[in-house]
Structure 1
Amino acid sequence: MIHFKAIGKIMGALLMLLSLLMLPGVGFALYFDSGDERALLLSALSSFTVGGVLFFSFSKQDQNIRKREGYMIVSLSWLLMSIFGMLPYILSGTIINFSDAIFETISGLTTTGATVLQDIESTPKGVLFWRSMTQWIGGLGIIVLTVAIFPLLGIGGIELFVAESPGPTSDKLHPRIRETAKRLWYVYVGLTILAGVLYLVGGMTFYDAINHALTTMATGGFSTKNASMAYYTSPFIQYVAILFMFLAGTNFTVIYFGITGKFSRVWRSDEFKAYTTVLIVLAVILSFPVYHYSGQEIEKSFRDTLFQVVSLITTTGFVTADYTSYHSGLTLLFFMMLFFGASAGSTSGGIKFVRHLTFFKNSWLEFKRIVHPRAVVPLKINGDRVTGKIITHIMNFLLIYLMIFTFGSVVIAIMGYDIMTAFGAVATSLGNVGPAIGRVGPMDNFAFFDPFSKIFLSFLMLLGRLELFTILVLFTPYFWRAN
């Protein structure tokens, strides 16, 4: 039996926390006199009221959350946060229709970075800050934060952490799940502050620095400028963005070990080594054709290439150049990066390197098994043997991901869009990246899509952010059968 009252209690707590995170935007609205403070306050009040009713109505429900409740809470909470998160857009008049507002909100919370706003710089400052805040909330996951405080509310949190944590594994830094969540958020908040300070040193205004720090560490890609990071021609600012996009795409457990001086644990990570190597190799190799086709100086060509490679692989989506303008072959290579994803346990979306690594290692070992059919040839990641159950799970994930990409592309194409745009829109939505190819290239937006396509792409964003199975399991009869 599913404990719906316990689910309601936790969703109420999440909504109340969401309402509090809307309030910083009020300060910016008042400071810039942008006139949207009332919309933010009403949105926060509405979220807090509904959340409070849910929480206190079921305050006596203190059951530990089981796996089924965990998956339901994560899936339903992201949907509920998206509905209340779009209120500032609608009440301020920034976005007036439902499909656009829900698309922008889900794009923020899933850190996709796709937008329907055609003039970002004219958006009221308070709402624009809330737009950046949605990505920061969704970056490491608001539920990972609440897991740290749920014990104070009489709520168990481990099943929520397992359902929410990005990637096929959720490494624990501490035996107690609450301490793990807290330490992950310490790293997240600390790096966000450091990125903001460096952006400020590089010449950004305080407002732009804090917005870009929020969306960089979330690997979200929302910017306060229409031209994204291309607006800032300073090499210092762009290299700072590259550094923090790289860190945000690194498993936060690995970062924590690095900060605490446990470097042997850092280099033990096969995923981190593969992630770093691929980024460097691709940036170096692709910088030569970019230099040839762009006609820019060598350093600028390398910087643009490195920036786009890191931005796409980490699924951040910031842009400094139009990578579709160089050559069709380069466009294809950059498009393929939409399917990479960075590290498991990072704020990145996408498939994740550990899955690719497992797939290629297992495929390579299969040749050895063919030659020596009686030999026991174990697959190892980080020196540990990978069980057959995990290998099967990863293979299923890759197959289902490809099937959803194919099905989604057909749906968008049927809606009347060209095949390049369909491929690009579905790949970037499912991978939570932002820019793609076709009519959704790095210099374009998603405003031209019809309402149905926007809702469909929003659903793909949620699927990708929650690693497919968290949502898809709700549509199976096994999930709803009583124990």
Structure 2
Amino acid sequence: MNYGMVLKSLGILLICEAAVMIPSLLVAVICGGNDAKAFAITITITFVVGLVAAMVKPKRKNIYARDGFAIVAIGWLLISFFGSLPFVLSEAIPSIVDAFFETSSGLTTTGSSILNDVESLSEGIIFWRSFTHWIGGMGVLVMTLAILPSAKPGMFQIMKAESPGPNPGKLVPKLGQTAKILYGIYIIITIIEVILLKIAGMSLYDSLIHTFGSVGTGGFSNKGLSVGSYNNIYIEVIITFFTLACGVNFSLYYQALKGNIKEIFKDEELRLYLGVVFAAIILITINIHGSTFRGIGESLRYSSFQVVTIITTTGYATTDFNLWPTFSKMILVSLMFVGGCAGSTAGGIKNVRIVLLFKVIKRELLKIIHPKAVYTVKVGGKAVEEESLMSIASFFFIYLIIFITNIFIVSLDGFDIVTTTSAVAATLGNVGPGLGMVGPMGNFSEFSSLSKIVMSLGMIIGRLEIYPILLLGVPSFWKK
């Protein structure tokens, strides 16, 4: 372990976090809120701590796999802690546990909340709360790589550890350029949605808040009734489209810019993702038509919005789907686990893992029929290594263990099984709302501090896809 380089990288990360708090400080100053002081103090503390750490001069400047995982895991814990300070210092959320939960939820683009009255918060705090979605969506460390003037070859280990999906890669040979391309696409999508939401009737402030939640697939709103408070079909269509788009692997947009349109539609993960979305919309529309909503158009409107925001783990709501028939609710719960595509801002297990899992099952069945035959699992015409397939199988198993363990711990609070199970599923999958007490009209405020800490760590574990956080508890991981 290259401790010097790990510490230096963490320092640079904290300096970047201090910098991205400045827009929230400006909003607080412009709007005349009493939260400006809280941001000023937080920015100063975060910058000073980051500067001290960044001044470390490591003997070796190489970053290997272990270093990358350590930087990512510790980095996310640190930015969640320092990012929670504005809530505590402004007394918007006096409890450090609650503030850490809210910040972790924002940065991991989960969207679960402990707030009972979000509309009472100051504009600067609300802006920071939603802006954490935007910086966490693409990845805080990927953003750092995009900002740095040059990224050393070893920095790929950081991007690999943070990026969602089983096999992140470079779009171009230079890593720093790859990060800039990703954030360039991300910014363009953000600007377009802000403009469209403004045209649809939102204020500029509200457009920014809901765009951060859409493109970051987070789901924080400045309204108590979420997107449903606007009751505007144009706004719903815009958010549905951009949320669905941000659940797609961003590397496909780069391929589109290069003119490789045909290759996009050959992507097996994208086809599964869109297929699951359309199938779920049709099934739920049929199920809620007549029982929950009268018209087929109204049923389609609410089912499509909710399906897209749940599978992309955004969590925006336009209606209380807690009141929908059990069949529809079970579909939504299933979508919480599936999630979006690898390389997107969405959470969940990811569609590419589902694709590969079904291919492995098919291969095993064929091997029973033809024991001597050799079958190769392929995705996009390329053979997948056995090591990758074993890694995916391990991921499913560990994910299940963490899910069950968290359920047992959270169940100590004594809430009903639907609330407990869906709360863990919503936080581990970075979805946001669950069912029961934590439905779209509820929140997580009634849980104990222990449960909130467990679910906060669950959000970070889910966002980093398990391994970086778990490795921190392995003694051999820390050896030189």
With structure 1 as the length reference, what TM-score do the two structures score? 0.97
Q: What amino acid maps onto 2:51 in structure 1?
A: G
Q: What amino acid maps onto 2:284 in structure 1?
A: L
Contact 2:280 2:331 in 1 (8 A): no
The one-character-per-residue Cα deviations of 1:345-379 (angstroms, maximum 9, x if unpaired) are: 00111100000111112112221111001111111
Q: Alignment partner for residue 399 of structure 1, among 384, 397, 409?
A: 397
The CA distance in 1 between the partners of 2:10 and 2:99, in whole Å, is: 21
The CA distance in 1 between the partners of 2:60 and 2:40, in whole Å, is: 31
The CA distance in 2 between the partners of 1:266 and 1:235, in whole Å, is: 29
Shift of 1:156: 4.1
State the match for 1:350 in structure 2: 348
Q: Which runs of 5+ in 1 are unaligned?
A: none
Shift of 1:59: 4.4
State the match for 1:448 in structure 2: 446
Contact 2:146 2:183 in 1 (8 A): no
Q: What amino acid maps onto 1:121 in structure 2?
A: E
The one-character-per-residue Cα deviations of 1:226-251 (angstroms, maximum 9, x if unpaired) are: 11111121111101001111111000
1:259–1:280 CA distance, 2 compared to 1 (3 A):
farther
The CA distance in 1 between the partners of 2:78 and 2:332, in whole Å, is: 34
State the match for 2:10 in structure 1: 11
The CA distance in 2 between the partners of 1:40 and 1:442, in whole Å, is: 30
Shift of 1:298: 1.9
Shift of 1:154: 6.6
The CA distance in 2 between the partners of 1:153 and 1:51, in whole Å, is: 18
State the match for 1:218 in structure 2: 216
Report the secondary structure of 2:26's partner residue: helix
The one-character-per-residue Cα deviations of 1:64-93 (angstroms, maximum 9, x if unpaired) are: 211111110000011110111011101111
| Bigger mean CA deviation after superposition, 292-301 or 307-316 | 292-301
Contact 1:62 1:154 in 2 (8 A): no
Q: Alignment partner for residue 303 of structure 1, among 301, 304, 328?
A: 301
Report the secondary structure of 1:75's partner residue: helix
Contact 1:9 1:61 in 2 (8 A): no
The one-character-per-residue Cα deviations of 1:95-141 (angstroms, maximum 9, x if unpaired) are: 00111011001111111100011111110000110001111111010
State the match for 1:89 in structure 2: 87
Shift of 1:152: 3.6
1:153–1:186 CA distance, 2 compared to 1 (3 A):
closer
The CA distance in 1 between the partners of 2:46 and 2:60, in whole Å, is: 22
State the match for 2:36 in structure 1: 37
Report the secondary structure of 2:289's partner residue: helix
Contact 1:409 1:419 in 2 (8 A): no
1:60–1:152 CA distance, 2 compared to 1 (3 A):
farther
Q: 2:315 aligned with 1:317, yes or no? A: yes
Q: What amino acid maps onto 1:30 in structure 2?
A: V
State the match for 1:132 in structure 2: 130
The CA distance in 2 between the partners of 1:457 and 1:212, in whole Å, is: 24
Shift of 1:300: 1.9
Q: Which runs of 5+ in 2 are unaligned?
A: none
Shift of 1:60: 5.8
The CA distance in 2 between the partners of 1:65 and 1:185, in whole Å, is: 23
Contact 2:248 2:270 in 1 (8 A): yes
Shift of 1:394: 0.5
Contact 1:151 1:157 in 2 (8 A): no
| Bigger mean CA deviation after superposition, 377-386 or 151-160 | 151-160
Q: What amino acid maps onto 1:407 in structure 2?
A: T
Q: 2:421 aligned with 1:423, yes or no? A: yes
The CA distance in 1 between the partners of 2:144 and 2:127, in whole Å, is: 22
The CA distance in 2 between the partners of 1:369 and 1:392, in whole Å, is: 17
The CA distance in 2 between the partners of 1:353 and 1:263, in whole Å, is: 20
Q: What amino acid maps onto 1:16 in structure 2?
A: I
Report the secondary structure of 1:79's partner residue: helix
Q: What amino acid maps onto 1:85 in structure 2?
A: G
The one-character-per-residue Cα deviations of 1:163-189 (angstroms, maximum 9, x if unpaired) are: 111111103211222111111111111
Shift of 1:61: 5.5
The CA distance in 2 between the partners of 1:50 and 1:444, in whole Å, is: 37
Q: What amino acid maps onto 1:51 in structure 2?
A: G
State the match for 1:25 in structure 2: 24
Identity %, equivalent residues = 38
Q: What amino acid maps onto 1:444 in structure 2?
A: G
1:243–1:178 CA distance, 2 compared to 1 (3 A):
same
With structure 2 as the length reference, what TM-score do the two structures score? 0.97
The CA distance in 2 between the partners of 1:298 and 1:225, in whole Å, is: 27
- Residue correspondence of structure 1 range 142-221 to structure 2 within 5 A: 142-150=140-148, 152=150, 156-221=154-219
- Residue correspondence of structure 1 range 246-265 to structure 2 within 5 A: 246-265=244-263
The CA distance in 2 between the partners of 1:467 and 1:334, in whole Å, is: 21
The CA distance in 1 between the partners of 2:200 and 2:169, in whole Å, is: 35
The CA distance in 1 between the partners of 2:318 and 2:345, in whole Å, is: 21
The CA distance in 2 between the partners of 1:265 and 1:403, in whole Å, is: 37
The ranges of structure 1 where at least 4 consecutive aligned residues each deviate by more than 3 angstroms after the TM superposition are 59-62, 149-156
Shift of 1:259: 3.1
1:392–1:156 CA distance, 2 compared to 1 (3 A):
closer
The CA distance in 2 between the partners of 1:285 and 1:330, in whole Å, is: 8
Contact 1:147 1:158 in 2 (8 A): no
Q: Alignment partner for residue 466 of structure 1, among 464, 471, 476?
A: 464
Q: What amino acid maps onto 2:185 in structure 1?
A: V
State the match for 1:373 in structure 2: 371
The CA distance in 2 between the partners of 1:416 and 1:196, in whole Å, is: 42
Shift of 1:477: 3.6
State the match for 2:331 in structure 1: 333
Q: What amino acid maps onto 1:313 in structure 2?
A: I
State the match for 2:69 in structure 1: 71
State the match for 1:414 in structure 2: 412
State the match for 1:46 in structure 2: 45
Count of equivalent residues? 480
The CA distance in 1 between the partners of 2:116 and 2:25, in whole Å, is: 23
